[in-house]
Structure 1
C-alpha cells in the first residue's frame, strides 16, 4: 500500500462518521483532499451536508467537486471537523500547518463538537517536533517577533533553526495575509509549555500546536485503518 492509498483508507474510515445534515469542517492538505473527493461522491449520491473549508485551496476543490459550502460566520457551530496532521502523538497532540492553513484550521476545529484527525502511520510520533513547527506571525515587526520566539524556545531548552517560509523566491503568505516561521526543534518534550509561551508573544497570530482539540485519530497503515485515542 503506497502513501496515497493509506491516505484514502484513512479518509474512507473518517467518512463513515459523517451523517446526513451535518455541519462539517473540512481540512486542508493531501489527506484532507482525499476525504473531499470521497465526500463529493456521497454528496452526488444524495448526502446532505454543509461544509466550512479551512483554506481557499480546500474551498476551490470543494466547489469544483460540488460539495456545498458555507462560511464559518454562517455556520458558527459545527458538528464535526475532519482534517489531517503533520504529526500526532499518543495524547492526540498535533503539529499542523505544513500547508499554511493553521490559523483557519484551529478556528474551525475549536468551533466543532468533534475533530477527527486522518493520517498515515508516518505521522505518528512518540514526541512532537520532528516536523518543523509552523508559527504564523504578523508581517509587522517580523524580526522582533522571530527573536521573541527564539527567546521563548530557549527558556524551555529548545534550540534549532527558525526559518521564514518561502514560496519560491517570495515570502509565503497565508490566506489571512500573514507569514510563517518554521521552527526546527527536533523534539518538543513539553508541548503545552511551548504553546503557552508562544501565546504570550504579541506578533504571533497562531501556532501549529493543536492541544486538546482532536477527539480521536484514524491512522492508516499497511494493515488498514486503526483508531487512535488519547492514552
Structure 2
C-alpha cells in the first residue's frame, strides 16, 4: 500500500500519478521503461479499467509491453502508431535545461526513438534525479556485440579530447554474461563523473563505428514532473518557461503498486 512506501517510492508514485493526468482519451502514448515508468503504467491501467480511458500505447521495452498488457492497456508497435501525442518516461539524471541521461534500464535506444516520434516528451522523476551538470550517473552507450572491445577502445580514445572528469568504461553485465538489450546489443557504461558539453559528446559518440546510440537526450524533453516524498509535485515546462507546484494525497488503501520492484 502507498502508506507503506518509502519516501523515494512515494516520490515516484506522485510524479507518475500527476503525469498520468496529462493523458487524454484517444491519445497515442509512448510508455517508458524503468521503476518510475512502471508506476505510470499502473496508473494508466487503473484509469483504463476504472474510468474507461481509451489510449493506444507504444512501449519502449519488452518488459514495459508485458506490464501494459497485464493492466489492460492496448499495445501496438511504433510502426502501427506511426506518430505519438506524448511519451512519458523516467530519467537517470536531468539538468536545468531538461537534458537527460537515460539507459540505466538498458532501453535507451527504443526510448529515444519513441520519444523523438512524439509531439512531446514528459519525464517523471523523483527529486534526486535533478543535477546541476550531467555525468554522475554512468552514461550508457549501446554497441554492437561484433568488435565491441574495439568500439570500447575507440570510445576511450575519444574521451581524451572531451570535457569530462572521468574516462573509465565498463561492459554492463548480467551475472557472468554481458547484459543484452532487446535489440541483441551490448552496453558500455561510461563513468564520466561530469560532462562539460553534453551536446558535443552525444554527437561525437554516435560517429564511432559500432556505436548504436548513447543515453544523452538533448533537446528532446519538454516537461519534467518531479515528485517528492511528502506528496509534493513540481511540473517544469521548458517551452512555456513555467513551474507549477501541487500536492497529491495518498490513499492508504491503494494497493496498485504493491508488486512493483525496481
Please indicate the TM-score interval, normalised by the length of the shorter structure: over 0.9
Could you say what secondary structure the match of 2:200 adopts? helix
| Structure 2 counterpart of 1:20 | 25
Could you say what secondary structure the match of 1:57 adopts? helix
Which runs of structure 2 are paired with 1:1-231 in the superposition (5 Å)? 2-45=7-50, 46-158=52-164, 159-222=166-229, 224-230=232-238
Could you say what secondary structure the match of 1:205 adopts? strand
Deviations 1:144-192 (A, max 9, x none): 1001111221111433310000001110000000000000000001100
| Bigger radius of gyration | 2
Q: Which runs of 5+ in 2 are unaligned?
A: 1-5, 242-262
Deviation at 1:70, TM superposition (A): 0.4
On the 8 A contact 1:85/1:123 being kept in 2, the answer is yes
Deviation at 1:222, TM superposition (A): 3.9
More displaced stretch, 13-22 vs 147-156: 147-156
On the 8 A contact 2:160/2:167 being kept in 1, the answer is no
Q: Which runs of 5+ in 1 are unaligned?
A: none
The normalised TM-score by structure 2 is 0.86
The normalised TM-score by structure 1 is 0.97
Deviations 1:106-129 (A, max 9, x none): 000010001000000000000000
Distance 1:145 1:220 in 2: 38
Distance 1:215 1:16 in 2: 16
Distance 1:50 1:134 in 2: 29
Deviation at 1:199, TM superposition (A): 1.4
Deviation at 1:92, TM superposition (A): 0.4
Distance 2:61 2:69 in 1: 12
4+ runs deviating over 4 angstroms: none
Distance 2:68 2:201 in 1: 34
Could you say what secondary structure the match of 2:46 adopts? helix
C-alpha root-mean-square deviation of aligned residues, in Å? Answer: 1.1
On the 8 A contact 1:10/1:225 being kept in 2, the answer is yes
Deviation at 1:229, TM superposition (A): 3.5
